[in-house]
Chain A
Amino acid sequence: MKDIKKIEIIQRPPPPEPARRTNPLARVFDELVRFCQSRSMFMLHYCTGCGAIELPPAMTSRFDMERLGIQPMVTPRQADILLVTGYVSVKTLKRIILTYEQMPSPKYVIGICSCTVNGGMYWQSYATAKVLKDYIPVDVYIAGCMPRPEAVISGLRALMEDIRTGRGDAWKKYYQNYDFYLGNQQRLFGEKWQTPTDVIAEAHHYGMMTDQTLGEHTDLLEQNEVPLDALRTRLKARTE
């Protein structure tokens, strides 16, 4: 068993220390920022399952979400909230994770309908990912089949209150416990699963590495990682 000492230990640079706050007004400034973040939320126009049908009434003249500063946006780059409205099939879950990783932090996930809580009526389905929070961190669940617009708005208000008081930081868990989330994702999608976003590098860059960030699953990811090339542009139609 002498050879065991010859196995190289992968050396990773230590995480950078968070910058010290020297500004005496930092706390006031943080309060202001959190207040603005809670009063202006862009939600991604990406809805799965049947719960999406309750969102147009919540947005339009009857309930009018814009009063709370919530408005729909179409690209993940500008979105703050990802609404997962309804059951999540394995194929949809891949897209949800891709979308989630492209959103800039702070970002929040709301699971609407019972299906995102525990699978709901799809509990016995082989193709449905039952518990959403195993794959991405979820801030607020709104249970119901389907929840009415009043319930949706009350859930959004709960999220606003969380953000204002600084408790809405579930997005940090994705960086801090990446190994756990990646493990669950690999269990569904196979060990070759990878996304274009380099979450580990981001966690390192923004100083959110913990000892839970890396583990056996991230090692598996690094083993199987292949560089992603841009899609080839083809002008001519295929002739065969």
Chain B
Amino acid sequence: MSWQELLLELTLMPLLAFVIGLAMVLMMRRIAAQIQRRVGPPLLQPIYDIVKLYSKQTQISHGFIHELGIMMAVGGYIAAEALLPVPGMDGLADKGGLITLIYFLMVPTLGMALGVGQCANPNGSIGISRALTAMLAYDIPFVIVVFGVAFHYQTTNLAEIAAIQQAHGVSGWGMMEMPLLALAALFALQGMMGKQPFEVYIAPAEIATGPMVEMSGKFMGGLFVMQSFQYYTAGVLYTILFLGGGENWLTFLPKIFAVVAIPMTIAMLFPRFRTEDLVRLMWKWPVMAGLLGLAFVMN
């Protein structure tokens, strides 16, 4: 691949991710509205929100680290998109692989922690400490899942993992071969996307949306952009690991949208867990399922 093609892919992949991510945000809000018997927001609502937030005329910045933190939060996901192969574009997938991707996925939360730390708002500090604890909780089953998948396919290259699954049809999908790991990953996904049973760190009525409490204007706009990247990344990663990636966009898009719709659909059924209950639950059931799945895989 020439460097021009690579450059084109590296530009296109985050852009596509952003557009698809916006559609995912809209889908989430529509699902929530449907469950509550409402109509929900109009088609371009995510774009209105982001343009509005960036066009605020007074911006309240709390210093350099505050701005850097938001840059890290968005930049971490933009870097991660280059490692996620999509139909027709592999980007840096064969050079980075799964391990690098996991590192990149931790950068946004750490960036948020830096930024929120400088705001010096007690609600923000409480929120971010809860978010980091939650990350500790869901990363354990997630790492077990990633290790199991990498061991099963004997590679950490995401493009290869998808190609091996596509060669064997639906019965060769990771979900069919490693159902326990797929289940554990679904648990971790719920935590990773911060959906209902595991969303105590944003608790709007209690700690005023936790980490976002001091974010206004363009900072909040940055977080909205980050959220759309986050949904896209979670959907694509799960699809590549367990649903056979995508041969073309026609089969790929329904898969990633379905993956992202699952946490939202079940989110409305639950109240929240407290942080310590979240850690206890995450380190018990998904970890047990993951370890059992790992035992089957390594057998």
In the A-B complex, the 6 residue pairs with the smallest Cβ-Cβ separation, listed nearest first, are A77-B216, A36-B51, A40-B48, A61-B37, A40-B52, A64-B38
Residue B87 at the A interface, CB < 8 A? no
Q: Offer 5 A-B interface pairs, CB within 8 angstroms, sorted by A.
A: A66-B29, A67-B38, A73-B209, A78-B216, A106-B57
- Restricting to A95-147, which residues have a CB under 8 Å from any CB of B? 104-106
Give the chain A neighbours of B209 by CB distance below 8 A. Answer: 73-75, 78
Q: In the complex, A105→B60 CA distance in Å? A: 10
Min distance, Cβ A186 to any Cβ of chain B, angstroms: 24
User: Which of the candidate stretches B39-47, B156-164, B264-272 sits at the interface with the other chain?
Assistant: B39-47
Q: In the complex, A105→B208 CA distance in Å? A: 20
Please tell me if the beta carbons of B36 and A60 are within 8 angstroms of each other in the complex.
yes
Min distance, Cβ A70 to any Cβ of chain B, angstroms: 10
- Restricting to A121-177, which residues have a CB under 8 Å from any CB of B? none
Please tell me if the beta carbons of B57 and A105 are within 8 angstroms of each other in the complex.
yes
Give the chain A neighbours of B47 by CB distance below 8 A. Answer: 36
Min distance, Cβ B110 to any Cβ of chain A, angstroms: 22
Please tell me if the beta carbons of B212 and A67 are within 8 angstroms of each other in the complex.
no
Please tell me if the beta carbons of A104 and B217 are within 8 angstroms of each other in the complex.
yes
Please tell me if the beta carbons of B36 and A61 are within 8 angstroms of each other in the complex.
yes
Please tell me if the beta carbons of A39 and B48 are within 8 angstroms of each other in the complex.
yes
Given contacts A75-B212, A78-B212, contact A69 B48 (CB under 8 A): yes
Residue A202 at the B interface, CB < 8 A? yes
Please tell me if the beta carbons of A74 and B52 are within 8 angstroms of each other in the complex.
no
Give the chain B neighbours of A105 by CB distance below 8 A. Answer: 56-58
Give the chain B neighbours of A39 by CB distance below 8 A. Answer: 42, 45, 48, 52
* Chain B residues within 8 Å of chain A by Cβ, number: 33
- Restricting to B230-269, which residues have a CB under 8 Å from any CB of A? none
Give the chain A neighbours of B60 by CB distance below 8 A. Answer: 77, 104
Given contacts A36-B48, A104-B56, contact A64 B205 (CB under 8 A): no
Residue A50 at the B interface, CB < 8 A? no
Residue A32 at the B interface, CB < 8 A? yes
Please tell me if the beta carbons of B48 and A106 are within 8 angstroms of each other in the complex.
no
Give the chain A neighbours of B215 by CB distance below 8 A. Answer: 77-78
The chain B residue with its CB closest to the CB of A206 is B58
Q: In the complex, A39→B212 CA distance in Å? A: 22
Please tell me if the beta carbons of A40 and B58 are within 8 angstroms of each other in the complex.
no
Residue A33 at the B interface, CB < 8 A? yes
Encode contact with B along A73-88: 1 for CB under 8 Å, 0 otherwise: 1110110100000000
Partner of A74, one of B40, B55, B208: B208
Residue A37 at the B interface, CB < 8 A? yes
Query: Which B positions have Cβ atoms within 8 angstroms of A?
Result: 29, 33, 36-42, 45, 47-49, 51-52, 55-60, 120, 204-205, 208-209, 212-217, 220
Given contacts A74-B205, A74-B208, A104-B217, contact A32 B51 (CB under 8 A): yes
Please tell me if the beta carbons of B52 and A66 are within 8 angstroms of each other in the complex.
no
Min distance, Cβ B216 to any Cβ of chain A, angstroms: 4
Please tell me if the beta carbons of B52 and A36 are within 8 angstroms of each other in the complex.
yes
Please tell me if the beta carbons of B57 and A206 are within 8 angstroms of each other in the complex.
yes
Q: In the complex, A40→B54 CA distance in Å? A: 12
Q: In the complex, A66→B120 CA distance in Å? A: 32
Q: In the complex, A202→B60 CA distance in Å? A: 10
Please tell me if the beta carbons of B51 and A64 are within 8 angstroms of each other in the complex.
no
Q: In the complex, A67→B33 CA distance in Å? A: 10
Partner of B39, one of A36, A64, A202: A64
Q: In the complex, A116→B33 CA distance in Å? A: 32
Please tell me if the beta carbons of B36 and A37 are within 8 angstroms of each other in the complex.
no
Please tell me if the beta carbons of A67 and B39 are within 8 angstroms of each other in the complex.
yes
Min distance, Cβ B268 to any Cβ of chain A, angstroms: 13
Partner of B51, one of A33, A202, A230: A33
Give the chain A neighbours of B52 by CB distance below 8 A. Answer: 33, 36-37, 39-40, 80
Give the chain B neighbours of A69 by CB distance below 8 A. Answer: 41-42, 45, 48-49
Partner of B55, one of A33, A73, A230: A33
Give the chain A neighbours of B37 by CB distance below 8 A. Answer: 61
Min distance, Cβ B31 to any Cβ of chain A, angstroms: 13
Give the chain A neighbours of B41 by CB distance below 8 A. Answer: 66-67, 69
Q: In the complex, A138→B59 CA distance in Å? A: 22
Which of B47, B52, B204 has most A Cβ within 10 Å?
B52
Given contacts A33-B51, A39-B48, A69-B48, contact A74 B204 (CB under 8 A): yes
Min distance, Cβ A197 to any Cβ of chain B, angstroms: 9
Q: In the complex, A36→B48 CA distance in Å? A: 5
Give the chain B neighbours of A66 by CB distance below 8 A. Answer: 29, 33, 38-41
Give the chain B neighbours of A64 by CB distance below 8 A. Answer: 33, 38-40
Q: In the complex, A104→B54 CA distance in Å? A: 11
Give the chain A neighbours of B51 by CB distance below 8 A. Answer: 32-33, 36, 40
Q: In the complex, A202→B205 CA distance in Å? A: 30
Please tell me if the beta carbons of B40 and A104 are within 8 angstroms of each other in the complex.
no
Please tell me if the beta carbons of A75 and B213 are within 8 angstroms of each other in the complex.
yes
